[in-house]
Amino acid sequence: MNPILSVEGVTAGYGRVTVLHDISLEAGRFGNVGLFGPNGHGKTTLLRAISGLLQPKSGRILFDGQDIVGHSARAIVGAGLIHVPQGNRLFPDLSIADCMALGAYSPRARPHEAENREKVVKLFPKLAERWRQRVRTLSGGERQMVSIGTALMSHPRLLILDEPTLGLAPKIKDELCASVMDISRGGVPLIVVEQDIEFLLELTQQLYLVNHGAVATEIKPGESLDHGEIMSMYFGH
Amino acid sequence: MSALAEILFGGLFQGSLYAMMAVGLALVWTTIGVFNFSHGVFMMLGAYIAWQLVELGLPAAVAFPIAVVVMAGVGWILQASVVRPLIGRPNIVLVVVITTLAAGSLIENGALTIWGPRSKQIPALITGNTTVGGVGVSLHQIAIIVITPLILAALCMFLNRTRLGLALRAVAQNEDASHLVGLNVTALYGLAFAIAASLAGLAGIFMGGYRFMSPVMGSDPLLKALIVVVFGGISSISGPIFAAYLIGFFEAACSYYFGLYWTPALLFGVLILTLMVRPEGIFASRSRGLA
């Protein structure tokens, strides 16, 4: 199976600061992909480069065989590569219903709007109860559900989640992890950035440790690791 | 009776004009986060374009809509030339104050060169006068009082009921997230400016129908609209609409009881008091967003 996304030698940063140094990775060849590693080492920057929010200085990003570097974020969303950013900030004064309508804004997603809305409601029944409520009045977990729901409304062919469980209470976190597993079983390939390695090990088939803006270690399917080994990678030897 | 009618009428009339102006300022602020100091010039230009079209022999019913549409184009172009290139720079708010002020000055002096300093007037929407509650008023002013709420209601419907309006409200709240749902953020910025310029142009046409026009006719309404948005809070468009009418009534009452000379001072008193007591504006929530 060809990778749906491949990042080839991408260098990117903000102003004169380079965050990503010639980073390369692939997603979709073996299933879901997990990215982990210390904070401030370029995971979010990599995702921003992939979704077109940040222009890389060099390198190629192939989505479904097509180089998307230089494409607008809108074109990338239109192609079905959907990025749920970190921190569920979204649109605080819009209702859940409004967010879902926005998710289906691209011409590709529009015809599937009703069907996707049904999927979202089935996945997150809690949202249906608060359909007309403003996002700012929701709890952190509910806001994360709105973020992911909005992304599902965009009819993703590849879904990127940036720390979906950040800052959530354990019970809510478990619920959300189960929902993410459901999405994956529904046939959408995922790239997930997460600090919770247990969750990544369960969800993904391929892991990348991102350190100092590059891939420090790649863990392919079959090369299962125990917790101790990952901890030692994280914190050095 | 006649005093009350005079204040009521004057307030509704001035309030209508201020509301048309202030809504445009608020729309641009909430979507792009910049303050457009060429907004008063939009008003002037709308009036002059309408005058020119009428002068060329077009009937008012054709000339006025054309002028409004042309103003939408002017707003779009101004946004693309002096605002869009600066987005993402540090200190954008201050920089855009300067660029829009400069563009406004250029347009104002351009108008002076093209059309000359002599005062002009465009036809009233409806000619004639009538008496309401013992106060003599022109039908033109009554038309404005009736038409303005309809236009503002249409704008609110557009923002709250259509997908494009939803997109505009979304851009106002979170630019990155707007990109990530596939909105064309640049086009929406242009649209916000285009709508604001059209509304200002229409306000100019309204004003040119009962007062003499000059190239600087927009500066006083801009100042009043500024007071309105500070008073009402600039973070929504319904706030400035209510505030515009309140300020209109306040101004009418002041000029009736204290005279025309004291009115600006009292208005600025209100402005200063608002800034001291409730700097986010009386109708504002603390966040930025259209609704």
Any domain includes B201: yes
pLDDT in tens, A13-69: 998 899 999 999 999 888 899 999 888 889 999 999 999 999 999 999 999 999 999
| Containing structural domain, residue A33 | 5-235
* Counted domains in chain B: 1
Give the C-alpha distances (Å, rounded to integers) separating A227 from A5, A200, A231.
Answer: 28, 12, 6
pLDDT band of residue A236 (cuts 50, 70, 90) is low
Give the pLDDT confidence score for residue B260 in this predicted structure.
Answer: 86
Q: Which residue of A has its CA nearest to B236?
A: A93
Mutate to test the interface with B, among A53, A105, A112, A134 (most CBs of B within 10 A): A105
Mean pLDDT of chain A: 90
CB contact under 8 A, A105 and B180: no
Q: Which residue of B has its CA nearest to A79?
A: B182
- Count the neighbouring beta carbons within 10 Å of the beta carbon of residue A22: 14
The kind and range of the H/E element at A11 are strand A5-14
Nearest CB to A83: which of B180, B183, B289?
B180
Any idea what the CATH number is for the domain that residue A93 is in? 3.40.50.300
Nearest CB to B180: which of A51, A93, A136?
A51
Judged against a pLDDT cut of 60, whether residue B288 lies above it is answered with no
A96 vs A222, more confident: A96
Any domain includes B28: yes
Distance from CA of B195 to the nearest CA of A (A): 21
Q: Which residue of A has its CA nearest to B161?
A: A98
Any domain includes B288: no
- B90 touches A at CB < 8 Å: no
Judged against a pLDDT cut of 80, whether residue A141 lies above it is answered with yes
Q: Which residue of A has its CA nearest to B286?
A: A93
Question: Could you say which residues from 138 to 197 on chain B have a Cβ atom under 8 Å away from some Cβ of chain A?
Answer: 163, 166-167, 169-170, 173-174, 176-177, 179-184
Distance from CA of A105 to the nearest CA of B (A): 7
Nearest CB to A77: which of B173, B180, B287?
B180
Alpha helices in chain B (DSSP H): 2-32, 39-55, 60-78, 92-115, 139-161, 163-173, 175-180, 185-208, 219-232, 238-257, 263-277
pLDDT in tens, B132-163: 878 888 999 999 999 999 999 999 999 989 99
Angle between helices B163-173 and B139-161 (to 10 degrees): 80
Q: How many CB pairs under 8 A join A and B?
A: 70
CB contact under 8 A, B177 and A90: yes
Yes or no: say if B290 and B237 are a contact pair by the CB < 8 Å rule: yes
Any domain includes B13: yes
Q: Which residue of B has its CA nearest to A147?
A: B177
| Containing structural domain, residue B199 | 2-277
Q: CB-hemisphere CA count at 13 Å for B181?
A: 30
Judged against a pLDDT cut of 80, whether residue B278 lies above it is answered with yes
Distance from CA of A224 to the nearest CA of B (A): 34
- Count the neighbouring beta carbons within 10 Å of the beta carbon of residue B27: 26
Nearest CB to A91: which of B163, B174, B184?
B174
Average pLDDT over residues A106-112: 94
Torsion of CA B183, B186, B189, B193, to 10 degrees: -140
pLDDT band of residue A90 (cuts 50, 70, 90) is confident
**What are the structure tokens assigned to A192, written together?**
């997930």
Chain B residue numbers with beta carbons less than 8 Å from the beta carbon of A78 are 182
Give the pLDDT confidence score for residue A68 in this predicted structure.
Answer: 95
Average pLDDT over residues B58-87: 95
Tokens 């005058």 belong to B51
* Counted domains in chain A: 1
Nearest CB to B182: which of A78, A91, A92?
A78
CB contact under 8 A, B167 and A102: yes
Mean pLDDT of chain B: 91
Give the pLDDT confidence score for residue A31 in this predicted structure.
Answer: 86
CB contact under 8 A, B180 and A91: no
Chain A residue numbers with beta carbons less than 8 Å from the beta carbon of B173 are 91-94
d(CA A29, CA A4): 7
**DSSP collapsed to 3 states, B63-93:** HHHHHHHHHHHHHHHHHHHHHHHHCCCCCHH
Q: CB-hemisphere CA count at 13 Å for B36?
A: 37
Chain A residue numbers with beta carbons less than 8 Å from the beta carbon of B160 are none
Judged against a pLDDT cut of 60, whether residue B287 lies above it is answered with no
Chain A residue numbers with beta carbons less than 8 Å from the beta carbon of B187 are none
The dihedral built from the CA positions of residue A128, A166, A21 and A57, taken in this order, carries a sign that is positive
Any idea what the CATH number is for the domain that residue B88 is in? 1.10.3470
CB contact under 8 A, B182 and A90: no
Chain A residue numbers with beta carbons less than 8 Å from the beta carbon of B289 are 92-93
